Amino acid sequence: MLSLTIDGNKVEAEAGWSLLDTARQNGIEIPTLCYHEAVEPFGACRLCVVELRQGNNSRLVASCVYPAEQGLDVYTASEKVNNVRRWILEMLLSECPASSEIREMAAQYGVQTTRFEISDPEQECILCGLCVRACAQVVGANAISTVGRGAQKEIGSPYLTPGDDCVACGTCVTVCPTGAMSARFERVRGVPSVVMARSVKR
C-alpha cells in the first residue's frame, strides 16, 4: 500500500492506481469528461486536473493518468485547479452550447454564461474521444476516428460517410457523456439496407 495526502487528508492507494482511482476509492469527487472505466485513460479533457505540491513547487497533472506515488501531496479543488476547470467549462459553453450536461457541470463551478462567441448553437460534441476509444478498445470495430486536427477536429467514419466497419452495436452512443453521438450515429452506421448492398457488391 502507498500512502499519500489528498486535500490534507492521509489516504492509501494500491500500486497501479491512478490519482483519480485513489480519490474515488476514498470518496473524494473529481469531475471528468473523457474518462470511462471501460477504456484506457486519455488525459485530454483536463477537468480532472489536480495540483501536486512539493516545497515551493506546484504543478497540475491529469489525475486519470497520473499514478499514485508514495508521499504525494495532492489538492483536488485548489484555486489553481478550479481556475482551469472554470475556463474549460466556460469555453465548452460556447463550443457545445446544446449540451445540458455541460451546462449543469458549469453551473456547479459557478459558470452560468460564456464571454465567447458561439459558432454552432446545435453542437453537443465535446471531442472527448470516448466513442473512438470504445469502438477501438471495447468493440474492436475501429469504425470511427478523429478527423482533422486542432479547432477543425471532428468525430466520424472515413470520408464522413457510413462505412461497413460499423457493427451498429451502439457502444459509442452509450459512452458519450453529452448525447452527441446519438445524433450522428446514422452517419456512421448508415441505413442497414444500403450497407448490406454495398458489402455484397464488394
Partner 1 sequence: MQATAKDTAELRLGSLEELEKLRGELRAAEDPNHTRIIVCHGTGCIANGSAGVTEALKAALAAAGEDIAVMPGIKTTGCHGFCSRGPLVIIKPKNIFYQQVKPGDAEEIVQKTIKAGEMVESLLYEHPQTGEKIETTEDIPFYAGQQRVVLANIGQIDPTKIDDALRAGAYAGAAKALTNMEPKQVIEAVINSGLRGRGGAGFPTGIKWNLAAKHEGGQKYVLCNADEGDPGAFMDRSVMEGDPHAVVEGMIIGGYAIGADTGYVYVRAEYPLAIKHLEKALRDARAYGLLGENILGSGFNFDIRINRGAGAFVCGEETALMRSVEGKVGEPVPRPPYPSDKGLFGKPSVLNNVETWANVSRILDKGADWFAGLGTEKSKGTKVFALVGKVNNVGLVEVPMGIKLREIVMEIGGGVPGSDHFKAVQTGGPSGGCLPWQDADLPVDFDSLIAAGSMMGSGGMIVMDDRDCMVDVAKYFLGFLEEESCGKCFPCRLGVPRLRETLNRFSKGQGTVEDIDDLYSLAEAIKAGSLCALGGTAPNAVLSTLRYFRDEYETHILEHRCPAGVCKDLITYSIDPEVCTGCRACARACPQNAITGEKKKPHTIDESLCIRCGMCFESCKFGAVQVQ
Partner 2 sequence: MAQTAIDIDIDEIIERYPGKPEYLIFLLQDIQAAFNYISSEALTLVCDHTGVPESQAYAVATFYNSFSLEPKGENLIHVCLGTACHLKGSGLIAENLMRRLGLDGPGTTEDLKYTVETVNCLGACALAPVAVVNGQYQPKVTSPKLMKTVQKLGDE
Tell me how many residues contact partner 2 (CB under 8 A): 14
Please tell me whether residue 146 binds partner 2 under the rule CB under 8 A. yes
Q: Which is nearer to partner 2, 11 or 135 (CB)?
A: 135
In 32-84, beta strands by DSSP E: 49-54, 57-62, 73-75
CB of 21 to partner 1, least distance (A): 15
| Alpha-carbon distances, residue 22 vs 49, 167, 185, 189 (angstroms) | 14, 36, 35, 38
Q: Which does 119 bind (CB under 5 to 8 A by kind): partner 1, partner 2, none?
A: none
Please tell me whether residue 65 binds partner 1 under the rule CB under 8 A. yes
| Alpha-carbon distances, residue 181 vs 5, 125, 126, 145, 189 (angstroms) | 38, 7, 10, 13, 11
The span from the CA of 30 to the CA of 110, in Å, is 16
Contact residues toward partner 2 (CB under 8 A) are 136, 142-149, 157-159, 163, 165
Contact residues toward partner 1 (CB under 8 A) are 42-47, 49, 59-62, 65-67, 80, 83-84, 86-88, 91-92, 95, 115-117, 126-127, 129, 146, 148-153
